[in-house]
Structure 1
Amino acid sequence: MLKAKHDDIPEILYRIGDLADQAGLPCYLVGGYVRDLIMQRPCTDIDIMVIGEPVPFAKAIAEQLGGRNFVLFERFRTAQIELDDPEAGTFKLEIVGARKESYNPESRKPITSIGTLEDDLSRRDFTINALALRLNREQRGELVDLYDGQRHIREKLLKTPLDPEQTFSDDPLRMMRAARFACQLDFRLDEATLEAMEAMSSRIQIVSRERVSHEFLKIMAAPKPSIGLKILHSTGLLKEIIPELDVMAGIEQVDGLGHKDTLFHTFQVVDNLAEHSDKLWLRVSALFHDIAKPVTKRFHLGSGWTFHGHEAVGVKLVRRIFRAMKWPMEPMEYVQKMVRLHHRPIPLSKDEITDSAVRRLMFDAGQDLDDLMTLCRADVTSKNPRKVQRIMKNFNNVEAKIAEVGEKDLLAKWRPPVSGTDIMEMLNLPQGKLVGIIKSRMENAIIDGDIPYDRQAALDFVSAVYREMVEKREA
């Protein structure tokens, strides 16, 4: 049996073990913290399990060790506390009692009862999380490993402690966690676990969309999201969660002409982007950049496959997916902008670049222009090194032109020199459609180079446009 070194465990946790001795309770570190301790990964969320009543023990910890933000879930025999360790920093603790669980087939909410250490470890999702480390002074630091969790950590293998179909039937969210752990830890799933996920994939529908979304976004935040995304696709979970993505898979052939597999191209784009950016919603933008290709796909004799308008249709699909996944709506406009504009820099990279075309891109992308260019570079997935080199060189030319134009006419400020409020005050107009039309014409004139990026020039243009509109109306 493995025994942890004293220095491996923060002193504050040994003090909790001493309190457990005073209360006469067997006390263990369990779950992810033990796994990460073995893997030498940082972790500040700690689960502590006692064999007995956890609530009085949790209160004793809070009182005697200076815990704060104490939250009690008496129905679940669970408490949450934050503790400070002078050397290791702040820890978030969850104090639970050992329990066994049973499930109603129509719900993932367990019916719990007081259990033994063995009961508690057997109900865990994966063997690598079914580990317990003793905190009591007697046998302190000894590891309880009933399901070969240490060996599976060494083998980088994800496996359930009990029958995987039963494990996933009881709590289908564990299937999402399997995909998430695979890409967070770079582990593989054993064959029986994968087969069970495929067999049970439809049961993910009984899980709240908020919980599913939480796990999905953790996959998107992983170092290599495609590992988890491919697992979701191969097991049928992706079809259950975001069917608009799943239908992107496959290559359709007509007259011997096929198009690339859009789904696996997309997975590669997400990975490419993940190498250069941790921005979650930019990664989501990469995932959805071609989301409308299946519905805009057309085959034309002589010219092959086209996807005309997939950017505009994609914007609508993004809204639908955000609502279905119950994601926060605040980042939706950003994702829609990335989807709408992701092809815009590509023609600029091929042709001689005009100032007006660059201004239009700068104005439409605004402060997100750097993110857009990062997405465009990630969208290059050719296996031809010379082609990639040529495309990247062209993108460099576009970025150089952007810098040149931005410096020349101050469009890098991303705001028109005259606002809608300025127009209303200058022309004594109420807020409405007319002000928007005048403002749009002024912005387009600046972008197209018809007038300089200058406040007075913009005001003069606004005045001239208004006079023209009045004259036409009176004629």
Structure 2
Amino acid sequence: MDLLRANPVADDLAARFAAAGHRLYLVGGSVRDALLGRLGTDLDFTTDARPEQVMALVKGWAEAVWDTGIAFGTVGAAKAGQTCEITTFRADAYDRVSRNPEVRFGDTIEGDLVRRDFTVNAMAVDLSTKELIDPHHGRAALENRVLDTPATPEESFADDPLRMLRAARFISQLCFVPAPRVVAAMTQMSAEITRITAERVQVEISKLLCGDDPRGGIELLVDTGLAAHVLPEVPALRLEIDEHHQHKDVYEHSLVVLEQAVDLEDDGPDLVLRLAALLHDIGKPDTRRHLPGGGVSFHHHEVVGAKMVRKRLRALRYSKEIIEDVARLVFLHLRFHGYGKGEWTDSAVRRYVTDAGDLLPRLHKLVRADCTTRNKRKANMLQRTYDGLEERIARIAAEEDLARVRPDIDGNEIMRLLGLPPGPLVGKAWRHLKELRLDQGPLDHDDAIAALYAWAAEQGLEVPAAGQGEPAEAEQVDDGGGDDQSR
């Protein structure tokens, strides 16, 4: 069996180890991916050689060598466009308080494999014989799309609770089904995830959301209780629905929106869009109000939801850029529903575009994904209406530079015309002219000057004769606005 299809880097490396009296195995995710026919350029190996021996063997052979993981028995090497991580057999012990093992080196491949997270990752290929070593039936699990653990899941998850999140991530990435005993252990031990740092949790959630079946991964987190510890706003969407207060199942709706957003992606997984799709309605539980006659309202849930998004994503240590982008999409996702049958003025369209800024393409996808009604006539009408909005945006953008809406007069000219020094008043005038630009579209220069003078008179400023004002300082000034696309 030749899983590597004559990979020269692996073969050459194995020959070097064999000549030194050591065994080298392709292991873990690399074997899994090879069996799935998608082996990449990142190769994982394990060996009986100790780290210092591995370093000696790869020096002079590899184009680059690094030892950042040597405390855990791992040496990295790059060769011919491939990245190799070579780890000495491990037989770790865990304190079961943190997830940090007491690193112990092992002596057998079988002992190394039993300590791995899942059976599909507990296979190895002896590179000297090309024999598949599969003591835990990982290949059968792979063929049957079942996720199970080599040891009992209770032992595995007690050693490293992060494996529970990894289980949900693999459900999403590989479209597997978790073994019943894995689900039972995750449910029983869900609180153990609090031993894991927020940064580690965030990485697994991001990978889960960017998998082929993010819904499956999220459902496993919610059903086992893990989400209550890492994304509590999601299970909170499962609002109780009684016979007198009917409304859409917000949890189910959010999962459908996530699926539909994935279908609208243009070029691979978009983490920001997927986070926004999953979390766009998390403000609903806190804003639900029962109305006379059995109705339900969620007024301003987009405002509340944007604040909740910021709080949760900060807790998960997401970057400031991701946090603000997701929060802004959540805040804006309802705006379209005020469009009606196209009643917005051009001014309202400009504001929609300006408020979305560079998130506009994602906002288009989120709004379209948010249509989950089973009424085909209503769904088609909503999609046609949004088609019309996009056409109006394109038309106005062709006539005006909507990607960079700025006033018709800049800060330096404002100072010259009004005889003002740099300061807050210049920024205030700039913002007034920008609002006018959004409301009326581009003004010719004389009309913009007249509008500036009219505003200045309302502020009680002395309005000089046109063109007579001089700037107090001949320098570029901060007009207080920048591109100001977030307004």
Q: Same fold (TM over 0.5)?
A: yes
Q: Which amino acid aligns with 2:118?
A: F
**What is the CA–CA distance in structure 2 between the aligned matches of 1:72 and 1:384, rounded to whole Å?**
57
Residue 19 in 1 paired to residue 9 in 2?
no
Structure 1 residue 345 displacement after superposition: 1.4
Greater strand share, structure number:
1
For the Cα contact (< 8 Å) 1:55–1:77, is it kept in 2? Answer: no
Q: Which amino acid aligns with 1:445?
A: L
Please identify runs of 4+ aligned residues in structure 1 that moved more than 6 A.
none
For the Cα contact (< 8 Å) 2:51–2:70, is it kept in 1? Answer: no
- Against the structure 1 CA distance between its residues 124 and 431, is the aligned structure 2 distance closer, same or farther, given a 3 Å change threshold? farther
Structure 1 residue 195 displacement after superposition: 0.7
| Residue deviations 1:64-123 (CA, integer Å, cap 9, x gap) | 2x3315234332221112221xxxxx2221111001121112111111212121111001
Count of aligned residue pairs for this structure pair? 459
For the Cα contact (< 8 Å) 2:456–2:462, is it kept in 1? Answer: no
Match of 2:75 among 65, 72, 79: 79
* TM-score, with structure 1 as normaliser: 0.91
- Against the structure 1 CA distance between its residues 155 and 52, is the aligned structure 2 distance closer, same or farther, given a 3 Å change threshold? same
Structure 1 residue 25 displacement after superposition: 0.7
Match of 1:70 among 61, 66, 71: 66
- Where does residue 53 of structure 1 map in the other structure? 50
Match of 2:350 among 353, 356, 359: 359
Of the structure 1 ranges 364-373 and 336-345, higher mean CA displacement relative to structure 2 is found in: 364-373
Q: Which amino acid aligns with 2:453?
A: S
| Residue deviations 1:213-241 (CA, integer Å, cap 9, x gap) | 00100011112311111111111111100
Structure 1 residue 59 displacement after superposition: 3.5
Structure 1 residue 471 displacement after superposition: 5.0
Of the structure 1 ranges 226-235 and 260-269, higher mean CA displacement relative to structure 2 is found in: 260-269
Greater helix share, structure number:
1
Match of 1:182 among 171, 185, 202: 171
- Against the structure 1 CA distance between its residues 455 and 185, is the aligned structure 2 distance closer, same or farther, given a 3 Å change threshold? farther
**What is the CA–CA distance in structure 2 between the aligned matches of 1:455 and 1:398, rounded to whole Å?**
29
For the Cα contact (< 8 Å) 1:270–1:286, is it kept in 2? Answer: yes
- Where does residue 454 of structure 2 map in the other structure? 464
**What is the CA–CA distance in structure 2 between the aligned matches of 1:421 and 1:62, rounded to whole Å?**
62
- Where does residue 246 of structure 2 map in the other structure? 258
**What is the CA–CA distance in structure 2 between the aligned matches of 1:431 and 1:271, rounded to whole Å?**
51
| Residue deviations 1:137-165 (CA, integer Å, cap 9, x gap) | xx2x1110000101011101100011001
| Residue deviations 1:406-452 (CA, integer Å, cap 9, x gap) | 22333344444444565456545466553443233222222222x63
- Where does residue 332 of structure 1 map in the other structure? 323
For the Cα contact (< 8 Å) 1:239–1:246, is it kept in 2? Answer: yes
Of the structure 1 ranges 381-390 and 211-220, higher mean CA displacement relative to structure 2 is found in: 381-390
Residues 184-203 of structure 1: pairs in structure 2 closer than 5 A = 184-203=173-192
Q: Which amino acid aligns with 1:110?
A: P
**What is the CA–CA distance in structure 2 between the aligned matches of 1:422 and 1:280, rounded to whole Å?**
42
* TM-score, with structure 2 as normaliser: 0.89
3-state SS of 1:364 partner: helix
For the Cα contact (< 8 Å) 1:201–1:235, is it kept in 2? Answer: yes
- Where does residue 87 of structure 1 map in the other structure? none
For the Cα contact (< 8 Å) 1:158–1:187, is it kept in 2? Answer: yes
- Against the structure 1 CA distance between its residues 296 and 14, is the aligned structure 2 distance closer, same or farther, given a 3 Å change threshold? same
- Against the structure 1 CA distance between its residues 422 and 24, is the aligned structure 2 distance closer, same or farther, given a 3 Å change threshold? farther
Q: What 5-or-longer segments of structure 2 have no aligned partner?
A: 464-487
- Against the structure 1 CA distance between its residues 406 and 328, is the aligned structure 2 distance closer, same or farther, given a 3 Å change threshold? same
Match of 2:158 among 147, 151, 169: 169
- Where does residue 107 of structure 1 map in the other structure? 98
3-state SS of 1:350 partner: coil
3-state SS of 1:339 partner: helix
**What is the CA–CA distance in structure 2 between the aligned matches of 1:434 and 1:73, rounded to whole Å?**
57
**What is the CA–CA distance in structure 2 between the aligned matches of 1:472 and 1:235, rounded to whole Å?**
69
- Against the structure 1 CA distance between its residues 300 and 203, is the aligned structure 2 distance closer, same or farther, given a 3 Å change threshold? same
RMSD: 2.1
